[in-house]
Amino acid sequence: MSDFQYGDLDGASVFITGGGAGIGAALTEGFLAQGAKVGFVQRSDASEFCAEMAAKYGRAPHFVPCDITDTRALRAAIDEVAEVNGPVSVLVNNAANDTRHATLDMDEADWDAAMAVNLKAYFFATQAVVPMMQAIGGGAIINFSSISYMLGIGDLPAYTSANGAITAMTRGHAREFGCDGIRVNALAPGWVLTERQMRLWATPEDLSAFMEKQCLKRHLTPKDIVGPVLFLASNASAMMTGQCIAVDGGVVTVAA
Ligand SMILES: NC(=O)c1ccc[n+]([C@@H]2O[C@H](COP(=O)([O-])OP(=O)(O)OC[C@H]3O[C@@H](n4cnc5c(N)ncnc54)[C@H](O)[C@@H]3O)[C@@H](O)[C@H]2O)c1
Ligand SMILES: O=C(O)[C@H](O)[C@@H](O)[C@H](O)[C@H](O)CO
């Protein structure tokens, strides 16, 4: 699976939200290939995926079914993973929901629900792992944002509001926890062709319009996100914190 090996990730206890589908599944596999112990949550069943990983890597990720908008359940899942795999030293806040909606159609409950998955869960997962990281002398947190908020895309305003806030939270937490040796970085993917994107949003017209924006003329797949996340999780990025890295085939930085 992996072309690169980071020795310090061997045996690391990694917690991933949404680690059984889309980009998250590629991350779970990527960390397993490094020898890490992976725990992850998602709402839907992931036992088939875990069995596949166990067959391939000789050990299964520890899966806890959990809705991350339920903060108490999220905390319990993180504690369970720490109990099984050891204190979490790498947190990947990956799960999110990019459902399309118009601002004028949204009520307060819709807004709260969007923020609960796209922002609140990131904050409280961080709150749950920081004491563990402090106790072991450091850790790495990777927060998934999206380049969508930089592009001014109009049909997912709650999601993009959260994406912008994630980069702000990342900087604040980098400052707040830097003295504990905890690094906090964000990663903003471009358009990554997951099963969900292909099923819901990827029309041939939109795909080709997006390709026009990319410097590199190939659509991203979940595997393209694995290397940058491993890098941000490992000591290879030891003095990087508070960053937001775009992994988008060259869209935002070049266009800016
Ligand atoms: N795919 C893209 O084009 C793209 C682009 C930019 C940013 N991103 C970001 O990358 C990350 C992963 O996206 P993806 O495309 O793989 O998404 P996906 O929808 O394919 O997978 C999301 C995962 O999160 C889980 N999840 C969603 N809501 C949950 C909840 N309430 N409780 C528990 N688990 C929940 C899902 O079960 C799934 O495992 C997200 O943060 C997304 O914003 C994706
Ligand atoms: O996070 C995101 O940005 C969204 O999940 C995507 O749906 C795509 O990137 C967008 O549609 C590209 O135009």
Q: Is residue 1 part of a domain?
A: no
2 within some domain: no
Output the average pLDDT for the chain.
Answer: 97
Atom of ligand 2 nearest to the CA of 192: 9
Task: Indicate whether 252 belongs to any domain.
Answer: no
User: Does residue 43 sit within a domain?
Assistant: yes
- Structure confidence by residue, pLDDT tens digits, 25-64: 999 999 999 999 999 999 999 999 999 999 999 999 999 9
**What's the pTM value of the predicted model, to 2 decimals?**
0.98
Number of domains in the chain: 1
- Nearest atom in ligand 2 to the alpha carbon of residue 191 is 9
Residue 167 lies in a domain: yes
Whether residue 48 lies inside any domain: the answer is: yes
Distance 191 CA to ligand 2 centre (A): 5
**pLDDT of 2 over the 70 cut:** no
Ligand found nearest the CA of 151: 2
- CATH number where 185 lies: 3.40.50.720
In terms of residue numbers, what domain contains 237?
7-247
pLDDT value, residue 254: 80
Q: How far is CA 93 from the centre of its chain?
A: 4
User: For residue 96, which ligand has an atom nearest its CA?
Assistant: 1
Does 145 have pLDDT greater than 80? yes
Calpha distance 201→206 (Å, rounded): 8
Output the CA 149–ligand 2 centroid distance in Å: 9
The identity of residue 210, as a single letter, is F
On whether residue 67 sits in a domain, the answer given is yes
Share of the chain above pLDDT 90, in %: 95
> Number of helices and strands (H, E) in the chain?
11, 7
Q: What percentage of the chain carries pLDDT values higher than 70? A: 99
Confirm whether 216 is domain-assigned: yes
Asked whether the ipTM of the predicted complex exceeds the cut of 0.95, the reply is yes
